[in-house]
Amino acid sequence: MAITPDEPTAALPGRPPVVDPATWQAARDELLVREKAHTREGDAIAAARRRLPMVEFDGTVEVVGADGPVPFLDLFQGRDELVVYKHMWYDGAPHQGQCEGCTTTAWHMKDAVYLHARGVSFAILTTGPWDEVASYVEFMGYTQPWYSVRDVAEPVGGDMGYIACFLRDGDRVFLTYSTTGRGNEPVNGSLGLLDMTPYGRREAWEDDPEGWPEAPEAGAPVGGHGAPICWYWRADADGKADWGPTSRPVPQWTRPGATPEETLGRRGHHH
């Protein structure tokens, strides 16, 4: 049962106000109206997305996977639809020096069984050379198919950091949709759950009530990133948000042998 405080308006520092159940339910119902409107608008946007035109391209263009060069058509695995995530890559960098945002996104898409049941295949594309990619995939323990699209033109190659959707009609292949930035968030279910919590994502850009915990500070800026930052991207061995040389993309700490290194090891720029 809910505990009603002696002082219904008593406030705890850095926490939501304490109220009785009826007051909480009234506030919850008020927010629910906005949530339902948000859901309906999302449905309307999805309906418009299904009405977008599409672009045809040559599906015989070759990409390189675990079995060597294969035509892009093979990524459909006989299905009519395909979703890919385009993973950024830093040439010559060790595992801990690869893109933290892409690593977090790919980590949340380790199982495509439900997509397959709905007639949709899934793959991850990256511009890295296959020998480097293969080592990274083994280290991360990924089971979904990865392919190198190095020197392949758009829409298969091109800029990374995107989700892209494709449709197949026999041997004809079409690009139907592409998104990036926060458009990639649906893959990362953790963000949606964090948005439901009282402290949210704890990122610097969020609109928080006065007195809420600050976004955790990060170490020295790396690659143009400053502090505080999206804390879940990189962390040191103690779990502290950090862009320093001994940090890794957070999912990597679950892998055997993921130890601190001397440097992020990034060379050149990502493709």
Question: Nearest-CA neighbor of 32 among 196, 211, 218, 208?
Answer: 196
User: What is the sign of the dihedral through the CA atoms of 38, 191, 179 and 173?
Assistant: negative
- Do the beta carbons of residue 84 and residue 122 sit within 8 Å? yes
- Do the beta carbons of residue 165 and residue 155 sit within 8 Å? no
pLDDT tens digits along 209-249: 999 987 766 544 444 444 455 656 888 888 887 888 888 99
What is the average pLDDT value for the chain, to the nearest integer?
A: 89
> What architecture is domain 55-182+190-254?
3-Layer(aba) Sandwich (3.40)
Q: Is the pTM of this model over 0.75?
A: yes
Segment 84-105 mean pLDDT: 95
What is the three-class DSSP state of 244? coil
Segment 125-145 mean pLDDT: 96
Residue 242, pLDDT score: 80
Residue 245, pLDDT score: 84
The band of 1, judged by pLDDT with boundaries at 50, 70 and 90, is low
Q: 156 Cβ partners below 8 Å, 6+ apart?
A: 57, 61, 63, 72, 125, 149
Q: 128 Cβ partners below 8 Å, 6+ apart?
A: 89, 91, 136, 148, 150, 271
Judged against a pLDDT cut of 50, whether residue 268 lies above it is answered with no
Residue 229, pLDDT score: 56
pLDDT tens digits along 36-68: 999 999 999 999 999 999 999 999 999 999 999
Q: How far apart are CA 99 and CA 101, in angstroms?
A: 6
Is omega for the bond preceding 16 within 30 degrees of 0, making it cis?
no
| CA 132 to each of CA 95, 155, 200: distance values in angstroms, whole numbers, following the listed order | 9, 22, 36
Segment 192-217 mean pLDDT: 86
Judged against a pLDDT cut of 50, whether residue 176 lies above it is answered with yes
Q: Distance between the two ends of the chain, CA-based, in angstroms? A: 56
More confident position, 150 or 271: 150
Q: Read off the tokens for 99.
A: 């893109």
Q: Read off the tokens for 248.
A: 């890794």
Least confident of 45-59, 95-109, 147-161: 95-109
